[in-house]
Structure 1
Amino acid sequence: MTDQAVDTSGPVEAPGAEEPSGAAPPRFLGRERELKALRADVGHAGLDTLAGRRAARARVLLIAGRPGSGRTALADELVRTLLAEGGHPDGPFRVRLTEPGGTPVPTERTARELLDRFGVTGPPGADGDELAGMVRDELAGRRAVLVLDDAVDAEQVDPLLPDNPDCLVVATSGGPLTGIPGVRPCTIGGLEAGPAVRLLARLIGEVRITVDPRTAETLAEECGGLPAALVLVGGWLAAHPMASVADATRRLRESADTTEPSAGPRPLARAFRLVHDALPPVSARILRLLALAPAGLVDAHTASALAGCSVSAAQRTLDDFVSLGLLHGDGAGRPQYEVPGCLAPLLRELLAERDRPAEIQLARARMLERTVRLLQSCRAVTEPEGSPVRRRLAGLPRSLRFPGPEAAAAWLRARRPALLAAARAAVEDGELDTLARRLVSALVRALAVHEGTESAAPELYGLHGLVLAVAERRGLAREQAAALLNLADLDAGNGRTREALARYRAALDAGRAAKDLYATGRAMESVAGAYAELGDFQRASDWYGRALAHRLGQGERAEEARLYGRLGAVHTYAGRYGEALRNWRAAAAGYRRLGDVPGQARALSEVARVQEYAGRPQESLRTCQEAVEWARRAEDVRLQAALELRLADTLDRLGDPAAAGLHRGVADRLLNQKGVTYEIRSAPTEK
């Protein structure tokens, strides 16, 4: 696990108490020998250099150590030193490779997070190999430091290694990364006695160390020299000013025989139990429930929902945890905290030991329900004043309301990693599927309204995949059809037409199973569009015909007219001009019956286009003149100008350049009047 929050630089301050940007970083204690070796390894000649060849990839430095040993802090100090020397001006770029639960993060998510840091959006639905390739391309021209924190194995690291020897990769792990050539390992253990005692002095003051320096050294030995354990014990001593260093040492020794081996190193587990058992029962319960925090990220609302207490009480408790070294503060957006990675397995172990499964499930349900309500509020605040949604929003407690759209968007940005993790965890859990579906739905709507569907497409793709997983598990055909359609639309929009076609056909089956007429018709039409995109116009016309028959049976006249137009377009691309004319005329007649003047004008313009392609210029001229009149009635200046240009081209072919010039002049005046342009095609678009 990562141990960024409990490093050798001492406890992290609560939000609002951080040093201002630009202030000198806290002094790093110890590790002089390791830092010297790592800095020497940066410039160490590799095998390629010794052989007279330029290195093909970035140098990889590995810092290996147990959770809580300060490996992340050492990586941070190394990077800070390198940046101060100016050797790698581009960066650093940091990403975590393990979730708080110990699950390796998939390459797809890791690469997408790095691309976000580069300001690049990866295609929705792209796999890990494609996205990792984009990461390597972005790093090809940079002199950057890439920090890969808490790697489980070489398979996580290798796809992200830059093909650029000017870059440097610093990885942290619990063991060796076998399989990566040329990796330079640095294995660390506990701090030496001197730095360990100085860390304790920083936490509790020099006086309590000075009065009993020998016992302070003994206490550091009891903590195994682990910075994380020292921070916890130091936090306990700071919270108990009447206790001595000897008291802490005695308590740790007494727990040596009662603390069973746990998910973390034994000294860290003993220090954690010492702090936990000294907490008031309510605070101790809140601490254990933080094991349920998605992605290890928690704010006051999350803690409040988990424990069933007020938001203000939860906020005070979280601030207390920061001072005890149990949480890492994060000032992004609203106050947010992170559970140190080395403590996450200890929290989960203690939660399973002390709390009943029913209580844990209830806490998880409360957290999801609170998250859903916050997301609904986040979206509702963007609605106009006085709307029904805003009136409902006014009835929510003040703590669940945002002062404005900007504050809601900032909260959504800050909490997005936790929200996405909450959605994934809820779906994987499988016990709260109704809440999981509501959470995903609320998150999709909030992202769409604040970031836009296109910008949020990568996240939306993953969320629709979660909806599909729940729908398949629960046998919900209607939701399954909707999720498949959404995923297929994103596939189609990113050039994965064949994958989209497969999903559209699966959505059609699900829509029929659910007897969902809308999903069935939509899927038929989308299947046709996919075939048209692939250039299979015969199948496209067949499926558009099926979709049209479906709409005819429902009496949906507007959709009928639109589908006649789609059929006309497909027949035009296929060169079947007779069929194209019949369908475009049917579309024009449908729009006329609906009283849709713009639609009628556009359908007639397409009739004229097909007549021109079919070599019938006189008919095209008459139809185009009729379409111009309807475009004028519709006040569609762009279409009117385009048709005037088409008339000019047709008159040129008929040998009347004077009349053609008049129509071009009309088109120029229309375009200059509105400052618009319109593209006129003289042949069918090649597919």
Structure 2
Amino acid sequence: MTDQAVDADGARLSARVFADVQFLGRTRELKELRADIERAGLDTISGRKAPRARVLLIAGRPGSGRTALAAELARQVADRYPDGVLRARLGEPDGTPVPVERTARELLAALEAPAPAGAAEDDLTATLREALSDRRMLLLLDDAATAAQVDALLPDTPECLVVAVSGGPLTGIADVRPCTLGGLDTKSAVELLSRHTGSVRVTVDPRAAEGLVVACQAQPAALTLAGGWLAARPKAAVSDFAKQLHAEGDEGTPLSRVFRLVYASLPSPAARILRLLALAPAGLVDPHTASALAGCSVNGARTALDDFVALGLLRAVDSPLPQYEVPGCLHPLLKALTETEDRPAELQLARARMLERTVRLLQSCRAITETDSPEAREKLLGMPRALRFPTPRAAAQWLTLRKPALLAAARLAVADGELDTLARRLMSQLVRALVAHCGTRAVAPDLYGVHRLVLDVAERRKLPREKAAALLNLADLDARTGRTDEALARYRAALDAGREANDPYATGRAMESVGGAHQELGDYDRAADWYGRALAQRLARDERADAARLYGRIAAVHTLAGRYGEALRGWRAAAAGHRKDGDVAAHARALSELARVQEYAGRLEESLRTCHEALEWARRAEDVRLQAALQLRLGDTLEHLGDPAAASLHRGAAERLLGEELQEPETPAEPGPEQALQLEQDANACEIRSASAED
């Protein structure tokens, strides 16, 4: 893996990504940083083995080229770390620190290591350190706001190296010497400028170029904007821009002065699009986002975004689909412009348009997977062509690439607090699209975060029905990852919310789930009691299929508790219920379980008869696996009854059935009573009750 790096979203990046950026200057800083890697730490000097990874700190103001320097250092030393490079961003575009839990989860995903949904921060960081314990990797942590963020992610091995990028010193991390950045050296700064302007304009007026470098304090971001302005005006001299910059006065930083000049040169529609990009979630923009924010066409937005890239106002992201990133150093400047030039109502309308567009894209993304549904096809054809995906693969690719921005959009919408209806629709469609394309288990950590956001909105808006649904989904994910006590508490809270909403579905599912949690904890009496309460509700509502399934769950609990008489009554009731409901496969499985309990109870003759009956129903259901299991059970029972010849015949029949079944395309087996609730939970994991019937 020596030729690969790993980003925080888990995508594998070639090391050539670093080489594609033609790095300039910083020779002294790179030399110092590389020497710092070799420098003996305090632990080595004192004779102790270093317990943790060495930390290098690159400190500087936004726009100083600190991230580019870190990437260049990573490129130069990548061959020392054969297990690759991990990258993570520890700050949001607006400067808000990213929670350590989220960063640890992203890094674990990049390492393809397990990160259970809902796991606590300490558990995730411990898992991350364990995953890195036998690797030799470089961690590049960008935009670190606090020392605690970096400290929590440090590997417990000196074989790894951590390069942190921050605005200042990270006090609290031992043995760290910051490499503080100023401007570029004059030669490198002039060369950076000439890359945009061409060498001729710099050569004919070198003093003007050097003067512009001084006015920009040799800051790479400011010089990039100046070069973009000049590149858009081939007839303008370097001195022309320098004069206009001088006329701006000395207010603000060099970057802010250059930015004001470049922004003032934009046409009014383009200027409006640019400043509204401050609202883009996670600073990630695509043509649809820009189009929705500004209320313009997608093609017009794409053209504007490409123009911004040429001016140095945006960075194009290496992606199969057009994506762009707002430079972190420009985000506060764009945000300040929106506050002064746009009314709050206009900004809120822009956010609403963006969320509505995202909801419709997610609807289209999900609908294209429902190829067997005429309603879904009709709805898809009714959407504008620009919102449709050509193939399910294209939709899945878009969802994967945009997932960080989509999750950020959900977080921002909930934090806003004034667009809760749109936020609820967005989260509903996001969860459904993720489940449709990736499956519930694969995106469980993402679902957990979204359902927590749903719970926040439901509690804020006093929506007990949605609160119950969110609690049920969170509890299901807790139960699946072994946090049964936490799941039990949430199931009880969901039951209260369901009763408050007078929602029979939520209350029934909550009662059954409470029983399941008690069963998992080994409290069989309480489990049977809660299953009984759920059964009473199902019977009162004449929900026969669910009632039959609950008879089976009660019987299973009694079986585990060794109460075979009650278990037999339960399985007989379950079998009768499934037979009346016409569910042949479930009826066969209930009879199979009945035979099992009869065998446990020592009623071998009865078990033999029930097995034969179950086998006949399994043949009707064409359930080959169940037939084979029943043949094996018949063999065991006959062996106990002293008939080894007949037992051998049944075992041979089971082997033949299993051989035939393996030769056929594998089909999912019909769930038994023990698996029914889990499958129901998986099916409902994407459930978010929405006020909109359309969703």
Corresponding residue of 2:57: 62
Corresponding residue of 2:96: 103
Matches within 5 A, 1:90-239: 90-239=83-232
Q: Could you list the per-position Cα deviations for residues 106-134 of structure 1 after superposition, in whole angstroms to 9, with x for gaps in the alignment?
A: 11111111122212341111122222222
Q: Could you list the per-position Cα deviations for residues 254-304 of structure 1 after superposition, in whole angstroms to 9, with x for gaps in the alignment?
A: 2225x4x4xxxx111111111111111111111100000000000111111
Task: Give 1:24 shift.
Answer: 5.3
**Does the 8 A contact of 2:514 with 2:530 survive in 1?**
yes
Corresponding residue of 1:413: 400
Distance 2:543 2:15 in 1: 62
Corresponding residue of 2:510: 523
**Does the 8 A contact of 1:624 with 1:643 survive in 2?**
yes
**Does the 8 A contact of 2:15 with 2:75 survive in 1?**
no
**Does the 8 A contact of 1:237 with 1:245 survive in 2?**
yes
The one-letter code of the counterpart of 1:72 is: T
**Does the 8 A contact of 2:414 with 2:457 survive in 1?**
yes
Distance 2:654 2:242 in 1: 90
Asked if 1:670 corresponds to 2:663, the answer is no
Q: Could you list the per-position Cα deviations for residues 48-81 of structure 1 after superposition, in whole angstroms to 9, with x for gaps in the alignment?
A: 2223332111111000011111111111111111
Task: Give 1:243 shift.
Answer: 2.6
**Does the 8 A contact of 2:18 with 2:72 survive in 1?**
no
**Does the 8 A contact of 1:269 with 1:346 survive in 2?**
yes
Asked if 1:484 corresponds to 2:479, the answer is no
**Does the 8 A contact of 2:551 with 2:570 survive in 1?**
yes
Distance 1:633 1:242 in 2: 85
Of the structure 1 ranges 178-187 and 426-435, higher mean CA displacement relative to structure 2 is found in 178-187
**Does the 8 A contact of 1:604 with 1:627 survive in 2?**
yes
Taking structure 1 as reference, are residues 223 and 306 closer, same or farther at Cα in structure 2, changes over 3 Å only?
same
Corresponding residue of 2:243: 250
Distance 1:321 1:534 in 2: 59
Corresponding residue SS for 2:639: helix
Taking structure 1 as reference, are residues 62 and 593 closer, same or farther at Cα in structure 2, changes over 3 Å only?
same
Corresponding residue of 1:7: none
Distance 2:185 2:196 in 1: 17
Corresponding residue of 2:37: 42
Of the structure 1 ranges 21-30 and 514-523, higher mean CA displacement relative to structure 2 is found in 21-30
Distance 2:395 2:20 in 1: 32
Of the structure 1 ranges 151-160 and 132-141, higher mean CA displacement relative to structure 2 is found in 132-141
Corresponding residue SS for 1:90: coil
State the structure with bigger RCO (CA 8 A, min sep 6), 1 or 2.
1
The one-letter code of the counterpart of 1:444 is: V
Corresponding residue of 1:270: 257
Q: CA RMSD in A?
A: 2.1
Aligned equivalent of 2:573, options 561, 571, 586: 586
Corresponding residue SS for 1:309: coil
Distance 1:242 1:557 in 2: 82
Aligned residues: 655
Task: Give 1:161 shift.
Answer: 0.9
Task: Give 1:20 shift.
Answer: 12
Aligned equivalent of 2:275, options 284, 288, 292: 288
Of the structure 1 ranges 605-614 and 471-480, higher mean CA displacement relative to structure 2 is found in 605-614
The one-letter code of the counterpart of 2:414 is: V
Distance 2:119 2:21 in 1: 41
Asked if 1:641 corresponds to 2:628, the answer is yes
Task: Give 1:242 shift.
Answer: 2.9
Distance 1:133 1:148 in 2: 18
Corresponding residue of 1:612: 599
Q: Could you list the per-position Cα deviations for residues 617-642 of structure 1 after superposition, in whole angstroms to 9, with x for gaps in the alignment?
A: 23323322332333333333322222
Matches within 5 A, 1:650-669: 650-669=637-656
**Does the 8 A contact of 1:326 with 1:340 survive in 2?**
yes
Taking structure 1 as reference, are residues 208 and 558 closer, same or farther at Cα in structure 2, changes over 3 Å only?
same
List 4+ stretches of structure 1 deviating above 6 A: 676-679
Asked if 1:453 corresponds to 2:440, the answer is yes
Q: Could you list the per-position Cα deviations for residues 315-361 of structure 1 after superposition, in whole angstroms to 9, with x for gaps in the alignment?
A: 11101100111001013131000000011011101110111111111
Q: So what's the TM-score if we normalise by structure 1?
A: 0.92
Corresponding residue of 2:47: 52
Taking structure 1 as reference, are residues 455 and 20 closer, same or farther at Cα in structure 2, changes over 3 Å only?
closer
Distance 1:23 1:506 in 2: 50
Asked if 1:502 corresponds to 2:497, the answer is no
5+ residue gaps, structure 1: 1-18
Taking structure 1 as reference, are residues 382 and 527 closer, same or farther at Cα in structure 2, changes over 3 Å only?
same
The one-letter code of the counterpart of 1:546 is: R
Task: Give 1:22 shift.
Answer: 8.2
Distance 1:82 1:641 in 2: 59
The one-letter code of the counterpart of 2:96 is: T
Distance 2:369 2:646 in 1: 53
Corresponding residue of 2:7: none
Q: Could you list the per-position Cα deviations for residues 398-440 of structure 1 after superposition, in whole angstroms to 9, with x for gaps in the alignment?
A: 2111111111111111111111101110011011111111111
Q: Could you list the per-position Cα deviations for residues 586-617 of structure 1 after superposition, in whole angstroms to 9, with x for gaps in the alignment?
A: 11121222233322222222222212212222
Corresponding residue of 1:596: 583
Corresponding residue of 1:79: 74
The one-letter code of the counterpart of 2:68 is: A
Distance 1:23 1:142 in 2: 21
Q: So what's the TM-score if we normalise by structure 2?
A: 0.91
Taking structure 1 as reference, are residues 78 and 655 closer, same or farther at Cα in structure 2, changes over 3 Å only?
same
Corresponding residue of 1:423: 410
Asked if 1:354 corresponds to 2:341, the answer is yes
Taking structure 1 as reference, are residues 127 and 195 closer, same or farther at Cα in structure 2, changes over 3 Å only?
same
Task: Give 1:456 shift.
Answer: 1.2
Distance 1:282 1:633 in 2: 69
Corresponding residue SS for 1:191: coil
Corresponding residue SS for 1:94: strand
The one-letter code of the counterpart of 2:311 is: L
The one-letter code of the counterpart of 2:588 is: A
The one-letter code of the counterpart of 2:523 is: D
Distance 1:655 1:398 in 2: 72
Corresponding residue SS for 1:95: strand
Taking structure 1 as reference, are residues 160 and 362 closer, same or farther at Cα in structure 2, changes over 3 Å only?
same
Corresponding residue of 2:429: 442
Corresponding residue of 2:689: none
Corresponding residue of 1:15: none
Taking structure 1 as reference, are residues 37 and 552 closer, same or farther at Cα in structure 2, changes over 3 Å only?
same
Task: Give 1:534 shift.
Answer: 0.6
Taking structure 1 as reference, are residues 562 and 240 closer, same or farther at Cα in structure 2, changes over 3 Å only?
same
Corresponding residue of 1:323: 310
Task: Give 1:386 shift.
Answer: 7.3
Taking structure 1 as reference, are residues 23 and 531 closer, same or farther at Cα in structure 2, changes over 3 Å only?
closer
**Does the 8 A contact of 1:31 with 1:191 survive in 2?**
yes
Corresponding residue of 1:31: 26
Distance 2:77 2:595 in 1: 68
Task: Give 1:466 shift.
Answer: 1.1
**Does the 8 A contact of 2:18 with 2:71 survive in 1?**
no
Corresponding residue SS for 2:173: coil
5+ residue gaps, structure 2: 1-13, 676-695
Task: Give 1:141 shift.
Answer: 1.7
**Does the 8 A contact of 1:567 with 1:580 survive in 2?**
yes
Q: Could you list the per-position Cα deviations for residues 467-526 of structure 1 after superposition, in whole angstroms to 9, with x for gaps in the alignment?
A: 111111111111111111111111111111111111111111111111111111011000
**Does the 8 A contact of 1:333 with 1:411 survive in 2?**
no
Corresponding residue SS for 1:256: coil
Corresponding residue SS for 2:20: coil
Distance 2:618 2:628 in 1: 9
